[in-house]
Structure 1
Amino acid sequence: MSLRGMDSGWGLVRKPAKRRARTAARAPGRSRNEEPGDGGADEAVAFIAEQSAALRQLAERHKLPVLHYLLGMTQLEADEHLRLRTKRKLS
């Protein structure tokens, strides 16, 4: 819900967020869709696995069975992806 442009008298009008300037030069070996400082696919998958586990617990606590199931599948998929990536790196 955006309150920008609406004066409700409560001081809830927010300024637009400042955008971070992009650098023209990329680090060698970095793909185009990775931002500087981004940990790459492995870090993203690890983050997704961690957050989906926390969200799954929240869904269970509030008796949301479909969300609980879907978040469990997301967590399993992310864990499997990490396991396979680690296995390939060791070979």
Structure 2
Amino acid sequence: MIQVLRQDSDGSGTQLLLHPPRALSARQFVQLFAALAGLMVFAAGLAWLSGNRLAPVFALLHGFLVAAALRACWRSSNRREEIRVGPDCVEVIPAA
């Protein structure tokens, strides 16, 4: 997402704030993971009933991997960059 912070009245400079869009709120993120974990547990239960005794272990491991990946994606959306465009230079500054 691009947000215009400031634009000089004479048109010689602009200041922009860039940050990745978030498709989910924190609550929706937790709900998504809960739904995915529920499906993994259900599938592992069916596999266990059909004779695959290691399915719950692999489902648990897979759940941790999916949680770590979703958390990394969520945390990476906190990045922001400020871009200042002037008549003779362009500056890109990582914002906190």
Per the TM superposition, whether the score is higher than 0.5 is: no
Q: Higher helix proportion, which one? A: 1
TM-score (norm 1): 0.37
Higher relative contact order (CA 8 A, sep 6+): 2
Larger Rg: 2
